[in-house]
Amino acid sequence: MITPVHFRKFFFAFLAIFGFAWTGLVVLPWMQLGHLQPMPQPGGNDILPWDASGLAHAGERVYAANGCVYCHTQQVRAPQSGADLVRGWGTAPNESGDKPAEITRRTFPRDYIWQGQVFLGNNRIGADLTNVAARFKDANSLYRYLYDPSVLNPHSSMPAYRFLFTTRRVAGAAPAEGALVLDARDKPAPGYEVIPTSDGQALVAYLLSLKKGYDLPDENPGPVAMPTEESQ
């Protein structure tokens, strides 16, 4: 028979297990990372990391709503934990204009402080997108890719996001300024043009904001020995 004593024991055991897990998983990480502030740029008058535009922040919602995080991570691991750096996922042009021309590094918690929702992800079916803006230089190449991922890889398992675009009749003499420049096979019928919706524009602004071309000096342990492909 369950007596009040049994119940009390069960209750306190339950409380202890829950309290222990909550302290380890919520309180300690919050104490460690919850108050991270931007830091002054060494030798400059900017702060690091810098924030993205409002449109890019709106794009975070589109990224979340379309499940990109199920196939893409946004975390570049240290060399001892994976081959992310070798794959080029940690490389972006140096935005400070100084040498070296490119910065290759893992990501640190401070990199994420401006992001409303952080999309670390745990599945690397597609490439890591931490520095995707370093690989796609302009909006049109990203639009083209989202419209038809098979442009870059004919066997792509990435779904096409055509609902982020509308096809409409060309109103004037020439296609509108924001109309996509598409390959022959994706071209709409003559007299029509493909335009990104506002969700599509926000998503691409978000993707173009993803580059970590700055160093975080106090967190960066300095140059790391880059593993070669053979050593992985």
Residues forming contacts to ligand HEC in the complex (CB under 6 A) are: 66-68, 70-72, 125-127, 132, 135, 145, 149, 152-153, 156-159, 161, 203, 207
For residue 152, give both structure tokens: 């870059």
Q: How far is the CB of 12 from ligand HEC (least distance, A)?
A: 45
Length of the chain: 232
Query: Are the beta carbons of 219 and 189 closer than 8 angstroms?
Result: no
Taking the complex as a whole, the smallest distance from the CB of residue 146 to ligand HEC amounts, in Å, to 6
Nearer to ligand HEC, 28 or 181 (CB): 181
Query: What is the sign of the dihedral through the CA atoms of 200, 73, 51 and 226?
Result: negative
Residue closer to ligand HEC (CB basis): 78 or 151:
151
Nearest approach, Cβ of residue 213 and ligand HEC (Å):
15
Alpha carbons within 13 A on the beta-carbon side of 186: 21
- In the complex with ligand HEC, the residue whose CB is nearer, 126 or 227, is 126
Least distance to ligand HEC, CB of residue 58, Å: 14
Q: Which is nearer to ligand HEC, 92 or 203 (CB)?
A: 203
Max CA-CA distance within the chain? 86
CA 109, chain centre distance (Å): 13
Nearest to 97 by CA among 38, 41, 37: 41
For residues 56 and 53, what is the distance between their CA atoms, to the nearest angstrom?
Answer: 5
- Nearest alpha carbon to residue 207 among 123, 124, 160, 146: 146
The nearest distance, CB 153 to ligand HEC, in angstroms, is: 4
21 or 65, CB closer to ligand HEC? 65
